[in-house]
Amino acid sequence: MDLNSINDFLAAAIRMAAPLMLVGIGGVFTERSGIFNIGMEGTMLIGCMVSVYVSLVTGNLWLATLAAMLVGSLIGLIHAFLTVTRRADQIVTGAAINLFALGITNLLNSQLYAGFEYRPRVTMYPIVAPEVLQELPFIGPILFAQPVIVYLAFLLPVLATWILYKTSWGLNIRAVGDHPHAVATAGLSVNKLKYQGVIISGMFAGLGGAALVLADLGLFATGMTAGRGFAVLAALVVGKWNPVLVAAACILFGAADAFQLRAQTAQFAIPYQLFVMLPYLLTIAALAGLVGRTVGPKTVGKPYDPESI
């Protein structure tokens, strides 16, 4: 590998990590509130399609982003209703969301580009850094020639940490996944907090989908999230439900993804599939205790029954 391709790889790694990081931040909030949302994968996929559709119709990138977030929140709301109010099994509900997302996006895929002769690329997130910075040798393309959403993705973990540790609401979220009964006796609404956590994860999964399309590819393709939402679930474990660490894990996974794409084209001794496996291998290593104790929020996955206090 020469310097140029290393440079190219690093820039891609960061760009490809951004959607994962966005989804990961949402994941932190839902699991901290005590609800698994494996439906983030499907929500992300729907986010991809919605952003392309709105972009094609309105031509407005930001409306497209907002729409993806809105639809994501709605799916989150449904997941919250089923798992919190109806106390349904969180894994089953999440799996249902994923299957639904796959089905509906496949179904609508042909409609999406109806009337176009070829699949046009939609407008992408702009690159906002001044040209002088972008043209800096080596670091320019990596740090400054990035679409604006990447900076948001890097800012969010810091913001999320601040919210979790410096605001009252953050304290409530940290508490509710561990001991919902204690939160209820402190006079707070457990269900409200859980709804908030789940909806946030839906919103960010939608945003992550938009970022995947509008920062990188510009097109919708069926099944294009390709397990990224699941990789985020892995990042939550590796990053021990801490926004900054989760984001770091996402960057690692993004890099693995970027590398894998390059390995596919380059003639390489190592099969590229190994890099596709990397996030999951790391998760297994994390669960096996190689990165220290990883114990999640104590009641995550368990329905909360206020009567059994």
Partner 1 sequence: MDQSNDLSTLRMVGISKRFPGVLANDNIDFEVKAGQVHGILGENGAGKTTLMKILYGLHQPDSGEIFLNGKKVEIHSPKAAGDLGIGMVHQHFMLIENLTALENVVLGLPTKHPPLLDLEPARNRFNELTKEYDLHLTPSSPVWSLPVGDQQWLEILKLLFRNAKLLILDEPTAVLAPKQAKQLLSTVRRFAQEGRAIIFISHKLEEMKEVVDCVTVLRDGHVVGTVDPKEVQSAQLAQMMVGRDVFLDRRERAPYKDKKEVLVIEHLDCLNDRKLPALRKIDLTVKSGEIVGVAGVDGNGQRELAECITGLRQFTGGTIHINQKPVDGVINDTTLLGYIPEDRHKTGLVLKFTVEENLILKTFEELPYTKRGIIQWHEIRQKADALIKEYDIRTPNSMVPVNHLSGGNQQKVVVARELSNKPALLISSQPTRGLDLGAVESVHNFLLKERNRGAAVLFISTELSEVLTLSDRIIVMFNGEIMGDLNAEKVDVNLIGELMLGHREGLEATP
Cβ-based nearer residue to partner 1, 117 or 307: 307
Q: Report the nearest approach of ligand ATP to the CB of residue 306 (Å).
A: 10
Q: Report the nearest approach of partner 1 to the CB of residue 299 (Å).
A: 11
Output the residue with the shortest Cβ distance to ligand ATP.
307
CB-CB contact of 206 with 69 (8 Å): yes
Output DSSP code: residue 309.
-
**Integer angstrom CA distances of residue 233 from 24, 33, 110, 169, 239:** 8, 15, 30, 23, 10
Q: Report the nearest approach of ligand ATP to the CB of residue 165 (Å).
A: 35
Residues 178-207 within binding reach of partner 1 (CB under 8 A)? 178-179, 181-189
Q: Which of 243, 44, 267, 272 is nearest to 157 (CA)?
A: 243
Q: Report the nearest approach of ligand ATP to the CB of residue 80 (Å).
A: 24
Q: Which of 235, 236, 238, 231 is nearest to 293 (CA)?
A: 238
CB-CB contact of 33 with 198 (8 Å): yes
Cβ-based nearer residue to ligand ATP, 125 or 304: 304
Q: Which helix (H) or strand (E) holds 170?
A: helix 168-176
Partner interacting with residue 172 (select from partner 1, ligand ATP, none; CB below 5-8 Å by kind): partner 1
CB-CB contact of 172 with 193 (8 Å): yes
**Integer angstrom CA distances of residue 235 from 69, 127, 265:** 21, 27, 27
Q: Which of 143, 120, 121 is nearest to 130 (CA)?
A: 143
Partner interacting with residue 167 (select from ligand ATP, partner 1, none; CB below 5-8 Å by kind): partner 1
Cβ-based nearer residue to partner 1, 193 or 238: 193
Cβ-based nearer residue to ligand ATP, 179 or 240: 179
Cβ-based nearer residue to partner 1, 170 or 301: 170
When asked if residue 168 is in the footprint of partner 1 (CB under 8 A), the reply is: yes
Partner interacting with residue 58 (select from partner 1, ligand ATP, none; CB below 5-8 Å by kind): none
Among 171, 244, 284, 290, binds partner 1 (CB under 8 A): 171
d(CA 99, CA 75): 13
Contacting residues for 150 by C-beta, under 8 A, at least 6 apart: 14, 15, 18, 215
Residues comprising the chain, all counted: 309
Cβ-based nearer residue to ligand ATP, 87 or 121: 87
d(CA 99, CA 108): 14
3-state secondary structure 180-204: HHHHHHCCCCHHHHHHHHHHHHHHH
Binding stretches for ligand ATP (CB under 6 A): 307-308
Partner interacting with residue 293 (select from ligand ATP, partner 1, none; CB below 5-8 Å by kind): none
When asked if residue 172 is in the footprint of partner 1 (CB under 8 A), the reply is: yes
Give the type of residue at 135. Answer: E
Q: Report the nearest approach of ligand ATP to the CB of residue 300 (Å).
A: 23
When asked if residue 88 is in the footprint of partner 1 (CB under 8 A), the reply is: no
Cβ-based nearer residue to partner 1, 128 or 244: 244
When asked if residue 293 is in the footprint of partner 1 (CB under 8 A), the reply is: no
d(CA 67, CA 64): 5
Cβ-based nearer residue to ligand ATP, 265 or 308: 308
Which spans of this chain sit near partner 1 (rule: CB under 8 A)? 165-172, 174-175, 178-179, 181-189, 306-309
